Structure 1
Amino acid sequence: MTLIQKLLAGAGVAGAVFVMAGPAQAAKLAISCGAVGQELTLCKEGVEAWSKKTGNEVDVISTPNSSTERLAVYQQMLASGSSDVDIFQIDVIWPGILGNHFIDLNDYMADEAKKHFKPIIENNTVDGRLVAMPWFTDAGVLYYRKDLLDKYGEKVPETWDEMTKTAQKIEEAERKDGNSKMWGYVFQGRAYEGLTCNAVEWVASFGGGTIVEPNGDISINNDKAKQAIATAAGWIGTISPDGVLGYDEEGARGVFQSGNSVFMRNWPYAWSLANSADSPVKGKVGVAPLPRGGDDGQSAAALGGWQLSVSKYSKNPELAADLVKYLTSYDEQKRRAIKGSYNPTVADLYKDKDVLDANPFFGDLYETFTHAVPRPSTATGTNYNKVSSDFWQAVHATLSGTQTADQALPALEHKLKRTKRSGW
């Protein structure tokens, strides 16, 4: 049993290893891939194509869906200097946390990097070293049932207040019509990194800042942030089920795709699944920017996305870098965009007819994807994980009713000040 399998087992996580066979004498690599939606399937397909092309063998290792759990597994592996995994799929917020364990990809693909969105390349550059190549980018979007909005004469909401009223109206009407399982809105409410993404969007949309500002100032304890989180707390038990407090991306998608929610906040990957052949809501779904906080607010989408990094403990770093170059290339990102709605990081693909035919909203929401709101990982550096954890716990306490926003945010500010004193 490899170290990563032991760590996955110890974390109570089911991890699977898939081997892409090559000649017996060929080099062997291992890559960790996520398994949200079609991620694992698309990763395996891309790896298999590279294996056939080069004749090398690759283990594809499935890691936890929860980014929080995945980071813990990665940190233990990398701290041990293990060579079990050559390529790590990392979150957009991790370069500053894990970058010291990765090789400088500028040595292998500096020219290719110029084709990707500049802000993401800058995000993935630590002390002048390109520690990760962008694989796909993400920004939160609002999914809605086109058929239900048409049925009840409602338009796509532009503010959270409009969304709340429309969700409640349709939820109540549909329940009276016999669908007792209908809800108005589902999102990622579990106490994990996904809740940080949702809550950053709420706060920023009301003009309440981004928890910690780029200059390091702690900004979260303000009236607009309190209003944003109190608004979200009002959804629980009214337009959102109590169970949303345990939902991750797939939990929310399961309710929406089964036809039991009017609105959903999720990432773009859910589009292709919602329109798959066996989806009960196929052809009935629309995608729009997330609502503004109010008439004077703005639509705010959290910046997400995943990158590929090569471990400096790899026994075959040059070969691993070649696989990364292949997986992040124009052609492979195009395939993933068409088949799985994964947002490319190569700018030219947003003008590609095949990509836009498969994902009509990519063109309409281009500004949403390119101007997404980053979480404060750069400002807080290696302390980001603690900052985010304290934030999502405070938000979760407010959503669950154990604290009010007026109680939770001053206490959060106090915790963050204590963390800041240790240095960020």
Structure 2
Amino acid sequence: MMKKRMKQIAACMIAATMVAGLAGCGGNKDGNSSSGGGSGDKITLHFSFDQGVGEPTQKIVDKFNESQDKIQVETVLLPQDANQVHDDFVNKLASGDTSVDIMGLDVVYVSEFASAGWLMDLTDKVDTSTMLEGPVAGATYDGKLVAAPWFTNSSVLFYRTDVLEALGAEVPTTWEGWMELADKAVGTNGIEYGADFQAAQAEALVTNWVEYVWGNGGDILDEDGNPVVNSENNIEATNIMKTLVDEYAPEGVTTYTETESEQVFKEGKCLFIRDWSGFWSSGQDEGSKVTGKIAATKLPTGPSGEESHTCLGGLDLVVNNAISDEQKEAAIEFINYMTSAETQKEMTLISSQPPVVKDVYTDTEILEEIPFYADFYDIIMTGKSRPMSPQYAKVSDAIQRNIHQALTGEAEVEDALNTLQSEIEELNSEK
């Protein structure tokens, strides 16, 4: 009990530091009655998320509170660290703690939390008809909507427009086409390398590798959740990635996360970079040698693939299944506010976080502020979630280790995928 209480106190201290005037953090343990702090007879909801989206989210929450006469939402900020946020939520929900009603949950943990019975069923309570299909699929577990997509993100292939113009080349749509172009591009306008991406033994590697797999007609798990990672399509896809590592990327690419890969591209040394959508603006910051020379396109396909798919990120809104029916009803009203087209547009304008509501991408005001969305919309429409596994953290670790060994040459590609297949089969048997 003392250990859990200390974690609650720590969470309160973070929230109090980041948001001036925050009231009632962790104070209303049963979460079922209206609290003080000037909320009167209002139902109080505690909404917890990481401080990375703290300032824009607080503005939206404040606006919601001003419009309300029956609900008061109080925010509880956590560190901008996905693992710490995950552990904080697990500690609370596993113990039946109701001090938090609504959580901003990383999309990769939805299956884990839903399989444990911690999340409220939101089916028919949240309108998803206006949303991108990929985030909705990632918020669905065992046929039920267990999370409300809040905002999303996906990867993009950014390339050097000046180099393609100098070579008189069209934008390739296959990995083979990009390799052929890279062979011609070296030496043109400062290009030293064809490819740039993230291949360090980290979550970034998982998000990269699944895209090669999907783009070559493969997958990680089948419809029943069984692993299919050592298929011929996946072996071929992984060999494509290894060829890029060995022959087209900077020597240190197997140590690169986003920061390292972005730096090399901004130095003007690479033909293309696979990165998250936010690089559209950060890649053209002051000091970048490629400002005004970047365009975006879909990820390429492999020889056995017909369509590429970008990997989705982002946060979902989930409701603590242990809170009272009254709290749940209020939480649904708040979530529908947060996922409405009007609020999604406002959040996008103040945070630049990619929305989940489709119409926001074609809104005139949005396109004036973020013209990149004109190209990005078609890209994110192909988005898919990482493997929907209740044991995602362990699946991710297995992918990271085995694929990294394949890319560095510590293991043959086929051997690494066979080992990965066995490891995920073993994880499935532990259910």
Q: Distance in 1 between matches of 2:257 and 2:54?
A: 17
- 2:257 corresponds to which letter in structure 1? D
Q: Give the drift of 1:320.
A: 4.8
Q: Provide, for residues 66-102 of structure 1, a one-character-per-residue CA deviation record: whole Å limited to 9, x for no partner.
A: x456434433343234455443222333222112223
Q: Distance in 2 between matches of 1:2 and 1:261?
A: 48
Q: Distance in 2 between matches of 1:246 and 1:267?
A: 18
Q: What's 2:34 paired with?
A: none
The correspondence for 2:203, drawn from 174, 190, 193, is 193
Q: Distance in 1 between matches of 2:262 and 2:426?
A: 37
Structure 1, unpaired ranges of 5+: 177-181
SS at match of 2:384: coil
Q: Give the drift of 1:241.
A: 3.1
| Equivalent pair of 2:197/2:274 in contact (CA under 8 Å) | yes
Q: What's 1:179 paired with?
A: none
C-alpha spacing 1:111/1:146, structure 2 compared with 1 (3 Å): same
The correspondence for 2:7, drawn from 3, 9, 28, is 3
Q: Provide, for residues 122-151 of structure 1, a one-character-per-residue CA deviation record: whole Å limited to 9, x for no partner.
A: 542445754321112333221112233324
Q: Distance in 2 between matches of 1:195 and 1:262?
A: 20
SS at match of 2:313: strand
2:63 paired with 1:46: no
The correspondence for 2:299, drawn from 268, 290, 308, is 290
- 1:166 corresponds to which letter in structure 2? L
Q: What's 2:149 paired with?
A: 134
Q: What's 1:356 paired with?
A: 367
Q: Give the drift of 1:198.
A: 1.2
- 1:376 corresponds to which letter in structure 2? P
C-alpha spacing 1:210/1:21, structure 2 compared with 1 (3 Å): same
| Equivalent pair of 2:131/2:358 in contact (CA under 8 Å) | yes
Q: Distance in 1 between matches of 2:151 and 2:297?
A: 19
C-alpha spacing 1:168/1:82, structure 2 compared with 1 (3 Å): farther
| Equivalent pair of 1:93/1:375 in contact (CA under 8 Å) | yes
C-alpha spacing 1:5/1:204, structure 2 compared with 1 (3 Å): farther
Q: Give the drift of 1:201.
A: 0.9
What is the correspondence of 1:2-401 to structure 2 with a 5 Å cutoff?
Answer: 3=7, 18-19=18-19, 21=21, 24-26=37-39, 27=44, 29-33=46-50, 35=52, 39-51=53-65, 53=67, 56=72, 58-65=74-81, 67=82, 70-83=85-98, 85-99=100-114, 100-105=117-122, 110=125, 112-117=127-132, 120-121=135-136, 123-126=138-141, 130-167=145-182, 169-173=184-188, 183-207=193-217, 209-236=218-245, 238-257=247-266, 259-275=268-284, 281-294=290-303, 297-312=306-321, 320-364=331-375, 366-377=377-388, 381-401=389-409
| Equivalent pair of 1:20/1:48 in contact (CA under 8 Å) | no
- TM-score if structure 1 supplies the norm length? 0.79
| Equivalent pair of 2:61/2:73 in contact (CA under 8 Å) | no
Q: Distance in 1 between matches of 2:98 and 2:396?
A: 29
Give % identity. 27
Q: Distance in 1 between matches of 2:249 and 2:171?
A: 18
C-alpha spacing 1:32/1:279, structure 2 compared with 1 (3 Å): farther
Q: Distance in 1 between matches of 2:395 and 2:277?
A: 26
C-alpha spacing 1:50/1:231, structure 2 compared with 1 (3 Å): same
Q: Distance in 2 between matches of 1:258 and 1:58?
A: 44
Q: Give the drift of 1:355.
A: 2.6
- TM-score if structure 2 supplies the norm length? 0.78
C-alpha spacing 1:343/1:211, structure 2 compared with 1 (3 Å): same
The count of residues paired between Structure 1 and Structure 2 equals: 404
Q: Distance in 2 between matches of 1:141 and 1:357?
A: 20
Structure 2, unpaired ranges of 5+: 24-36
- 1:103 corresponds to which letter in structure 2? M
| Equivalent pair of 2:154/2:277 in contact (CA under 8 Å) | yes
Q: Provide, for residues 279-332 of structure 1, a one-character-per-residue CA deviation record: whole Å limited to 9, x for no partner.
A: 654432211000111386532322433211133456965555444333322122
Q: Give the drift of 1:226.
A: 1.7
- 1:234 corresponds to which letter in structure 2? T
| Equivalent pair of 2:153/2:277 in contact (CA under 8 Å) | yes
SS at match of 1:156: coil
The CA RMSD measured in Å over matched residues stands at 3.7
Q: Distance in 2 between matches of 1:87 and 1:28?
A: 7
Tell me whether 268-277 or 131-140 shows the greater mean CA deviation.
268-277
- 1:203 corresponds to which letter in structure 2? V
